[in-house]
Amino acid sequence: MIEAAGKTIEPRVTCDIFCHVIDNFGDAGVCWRLAGGLSEEEGFRVTLYIDDAVTLSKITSGVPAELPPSGAESLGILVRRWEDSETAVPSDVVIETFGCRLPDSFEEAIARETLHGHKVAWLNLEYLSAEDWVEECHGLPSPHPRLPVTKTFLFPGFTRRTGGVMIENGLLDARDRFSVSDRRALLEALGAREPDAPFNLFFFSYPTAPIAQLAEALASDPRPVQVIAAPGRAGEMLGEALGRLNPPQVTFSPVPAVPQESFDRVLWACDALIIRGEDSFVRAQLAGKPFLWTIYPQEEDTHIVKLNAFLDRMAVEYGEDAARVWRETSLGWNQASLTPGLWSRFRDLTPELTRGSLLWSRHLASLGSLTRAVATAAKKGLK
């Protein structure tokens, strides 16, 4: 406690987040969102150690691609090079993400601090999965094999017995206030070719997805659609495939990357979403829109088990017909068997799918935010 002007002020909890970028934007995206939430909503003073600032710089407005040794501050978060953690003193809370394994010297520093009476809460935040086993593992302690310290495993998820997903305060209200004129202004600012298009499909996927099948499906459906394509190879491939078919009712609008703080609004401006990975997948759910998830491909089709586990959970919000069509279209998209017939049924059902998706977003909000679950576990570890 600090005494100032007769008032007692709680010192801010300090927190280190470790991010190892494997590929794409998801690792950096999840860590950046968590850092922002812990700083803004929980009052933590956050340092983010990352081994690939170039990737982070592409989805933020204030983080430089090359970090100086002292780091760079953006939105109240200090971003530092991974290697600079090797000589750093651990903060009160240390968050390892996705089992990224901290430098040995830093692990030893945690043990040393603990021994000298500075309690360090060490957490490992895992990947999101809808599978049942997650409930059993959420919150489990894991003693270090060599050092006298324990880290706690936290699992995001979709049920009360998991950590939930990250939802910023007031997010759903802001989403519900997003108007037709906001949508027009945003699409215009992004350079979309038709800011007033009657139906916008957001597209952010992997080059391994059956992009030619999607192009065929869009071309076969007589209803107008504007594809809002996020940057990346998959979007380019879709643009090329549509260019070859040249359907008059399909407008292809590639848009630039936006900083993560603006990403939700791009989703809100669209009527259906094709998203991928982990963070954009969650944001699509919070947008309350019909979506197809391009799940990150894994060996031996493990990802299809994960996809089905998720479809089982969310489908409870849809009527029988919509649930079946959504499942078949999602599996078709992820197993290279998307047909024009499936796409057309999915499109027919977008009003009903939207109603169910909105219910699901409220269910997620009712679980409480993962950011709060992380902060609560951290504070428990500091006691």
Active site residues: 27, 278
Q: Between 268 and 296, whose beta carbon lies closer to ligand TRH?
A: 296
Q: Between the CA atoms of 82, 83, 86 and 88, what dihedral angle is there, to the nearest 10 degrees? A: -60
DSSP helix, strand, coil percent of the chain (3-state; round to 5):
45, 15, 35
202 forms part of the interface with ligand TRH (CB under 6 A): no
Cβ(168)–Cβ(192) under 8 Å? no
Does residue 96 belong to the site contacting ligand TRH (CB under 6 A)? Answer: no
**Is 125 near ligand TRH (CB under 6 A)?**
no
- Rule CB under 6 A: say whether 59 interacts with ligand TRH: yes
Residue 276 engages ligand TRH in binding (rule: CB under 6 A): yes
With binding defined as CB under 6 A, does residue 279 bind ligand TRH? Answer: yes
186 contributes a contact to ligand TRH by CB under 6 A: no
Closest CB 230 distance from ligand TRH, rounded Å: 4
Least distance between ligand TRH and beta carbon 150 (Å): 26
Question: 284 and 291 in contact (C-beta within 8 Å)?
Answer: yes
Please tell me the distance from the alpha carbon of residue 362 to that of residue 158, in angstroms, as a whole number.
12
DSSP 212-271: HHHHHHHHH--S-EEEEEPSSHHHHHHHHHHHHH--TTEEEEE-----HHHHHHHHHT-S
Instruction: Scan residues 7-26 and list those touching ligand TRH (CB under 6 A).
Output: 22-26
- How many residues line the site for ligand TRH (CB under 6 A)? 21
> DSSP assignment of 298-337, as one string?
-GGGHHHHHHHHHHHHHGGGS-HHHHHHHHHHHHHHHTT-
The single residue among 155, 263, 291, 346 that binds ligand TRH, judged by CB under 6 A, is 263
209 or 322: whose CB is closer to ligand TRH? 209
Place of tokens 């501050």: 73
Q: Contacting ligand TRH (CB under 6 A), which of 15, 19, 20, 27?
A: 27
| Helix (H) or strand (E) run with residue 111 in it | helix 104-115
Q: How far is the CB of 178 from ligand TRH (least distance, A)?
A: 17
Among 13, 15, 29, 209, binds ligand TRH (CB under 6 A): 29
| Cα–Cα distance, 245 to 223 (Å, whole number) | 15
- Phi, psi at 103, each rounded to 5°: -60, 140
Smaller CB distance to ligand TRH: residue 92 or 279? 279
Token output for 286: 């919070």
Q: Does 36 bind ligand TRH (CB under 6 A)?
A: no
Q: Which of 93, 125, 230, 353 binds ligand TRH (CB under 6 A)?
A: 230
Instruction: Answer yes or no whether residue 296 interacts with ligand TRH by CB under 6 A.
Output: yes
Estimate to the nearest angstrom the gap between the alpha carbon of 160 and the chain centroid: 19
Task: For residue 280, state whether it binds ligand TRH (rule: CB under 6 A).
Answer: yes
Nearer to ligand TRH, 107 or 279 (CB): 279
- 28 vs 242 by CB, closer to ligand TRH: 28
Identify the residue among 31, 165, 225, 258 touching ligand TRH (CB under 6 A).
Answer: 258
For 128, phi and psi rounded to 5 degrees?
A: -80, 135
What is d(CA 166, CA 158) in angstroms, rounded to the nearest whole number?
11
Interacting residue ranges for ligand TRH, rule: CB under 6 A? 22-27, 29, 59, 204, 230, 257-258, 260, 263, 276-281, 296
